[in-house]
Each structure stands twice: as structure tokens, then as C-alpha cells.
Amino acid sequence: MGNIILDKNVSFAKVYQSLNVAATLKKKVEDFVVEENLSVAFSGEGEHCWIYVKKTGCNTDWVAQQLAVFCGVKQLAVSYAGLKDRHAVTSQWFSVQLPGKPTPDWSKFETDFSNNEIEKIQVLKSFRHNRKLQRGALKSNAFKITLRDLSDTQDETFELLTQRCNEIAQKGIANYFGDQRFGRNANNLNQAQKLFQNPRFKLSKHKRGMYLSAARSWMFNHILSERVKRGVWNKRLTGDVFMLDGKSACFKDDDDDDQIEQRLSANDIHPTAILWGEGDVMVTAEAAELESHIINQFPDFRDGLISARLQAQRRACRLKVENMQSYREKDNFVVSFSLSSGSYATMVLAEMFSKCVE
């Protein structure tokens, strides 16, 4: 088996027709702003100290290391919900396990970075809680993104971009996994293939999970791309399984339910595609045929994920883009929106711009 090559010139099918406009992303650190949103009722006491940190020019793991050093704990005592970009301004939650210890003076922690022109950290909020922050425990992420160096700066171009934002706000986009899921030059996919060739190869739990997730995310994207090509990424296909909006709960298609189409149109439910693994695939008929056709194109991933005992899951094919706003700022275009956890802002931009260069 040779390495899988991710051809950067070939992309998954897009929902909307290209506007043929290119732009530069993250030209400045402040061009990409992200804020995590959680839904937690803090107990006000407990051995875990949760802090909401605004960081500029530094990655999540590095901040976790600095928190561990400052608090005098091992890094395993520091938790966060998800990784955030380094070249950006991001506000995210961390928790530090401090049994029997008082809440640290976070102003002293901030002082350590006050003279750093590149890496900056501010502690915006702090609460005690009786539980640690779990990975993926996010409600949503809010983005504000400035696109610069547009390839076309005519008034008509900005009008078209604004119209596209309105379309996306109404209809959503295909819920693809972003390129970052697959690693630089598709390395995570290549590593997954090596793992399946030699299952006994020792890897850290984190890396193993990352490679397995990349493999089934790759197959999911191909299934979704086929649904986009057929025009059923947001519509009913015989034998489908649907997911409630904002939930993980799924239910099978009932041919007698004439409300399905109405609920799909209202974005109340979404068609799903499989995240391959052991267990019930749930779909039948046309939906099952489509998925098995794609899955069988990747026999190494198909069999390897089963051998790895990964449990099958479902993921919504459609992604709702909430609170979408946009405006022109001189020759730049600024867009803001909110996405549910596990979704990718780059996939929203991909439906607006033919190319975003970082």
C-alpha cells in the first residue's frame, strides 16, 4: 500500500457556485478572532479552577504548559475543551485541578506576559467548580474574520459576497471536516494507513485517536461530497437517518412521516452520514447503497477502523451557520458567525471564496 496523497487541487464538492474571488486569511493576528461558548452552571466551589483566557499569538498547549508551571502542578492537571489557532486572537476556557489550594492571583500570571509583544495572555473570568473541563465540552464558537487582498474589489464583488453570506445564513453549508483534520500534507491519513498495516505499533493514545479520526473523517467527507453532487446533502434520501438540530440524537426515516420534508426545510433536522466503525450503520435502501459504495473505495480504512474497534457514529450532513453578519471595510471583507462545536470556519469561507491564502 502506498501513501495516500491529498491533492490540494481537488476539493470536495461545494454547495454554492464559485464567486471566483480569492483573499488572504490571517494576514494579521487580529484578523481571526474566536470566542468559545460554554453552557456551564458553576458550583462556585470545588478543586477545579476554571478560567476564561484571551490569548494572542500562542497555541493552546503552550498556554496549558504556562498555567501548569504558574500553578505548580503537572500538565495533566490542566484541561481545555479544544485546540485553538496560534496565529489568531482566541478566548477559550481552561481548568486547573487545585485540590486544597486557593484560587491563584491571576493578575500575577498576566504580568509574566505584559512585556511580550508576540505572545499575550489575559484572564477574563475565573470560577471554582467541582468538575474538570472535558475535551469537546463546547456549545459553540463565535468567529470574526477579516479577509484582505481580495482579488477583485469592485462594488459588485462585495455585493455578491454579502448575498452569499445571506444564502449561507438561510440554507447552511455542507458539514465537511476541514483540512486541519487530516494534518499537514495529509500526514494524519498516511499515519493512519501505517497504523492499519502494523496495528501493534506503539503510539500515544492522543496520536492513535487523531489518526483513527482522520481516517473516518476522510470517508465521511467523500460520502458528503457525493450527496452534494446528487443534491441531497440537505434533502431526504430513501433510508436516511436524521439528526435533530443541535443534538446528537438520531432517528431513522419513516416513509409514512410526511413532516420530514417540512422539518428539513425548516432546518429542524438534518440528514446524516456515517463516521465508520463497528455497530449498526442505521441507514437502509438508497442511503445505505451510497454509503457502502464510498466506504468500499477505502478498504484499508474500512477494515482498519473495524479492527481498531472504533464504534460507528453519525454526523449531520448540514451545518447551520448562526448569527451571520458581514460588511465591507475599505477593500477588506469582514464576516462573523457562530458554529456548533466540531465544525470548521474554513468550510464557511470555502463557500465564499475560491481560495483563501494564509
Q: Which residues are catalytic?
A: 85
Residue appearing with cell numbers 493514545: 205
**Gap between the terminal Cα atoms of the chain:** 33
**DSSP structure string for 152-174:** ---HHHHHHHHHHHHHHHHH-EE
**Consecutive H or E run containing 304:** helix 299-307
Alpha carbon distance 223, 312 (integer Å): 15
Alpha carbon distance 120, 289 (integer Å): 51
Residue 24 and residue 148 in contact, taking contact as beta carbons nearer than 8 Å: yes
Residue 238 and residue 253 in contact, taking contact as beta carbons nearer than 8 Å: yes
Distance of CA 184 to the CA centre of its chain: 16
Tell me the C-alpha to C-alpha distance, in Å, between residue 24 and each of 47, 192, 353: 44, 31, 10
228: left (phi over 0), alpha (psi -120 to 50) or beta: alpha
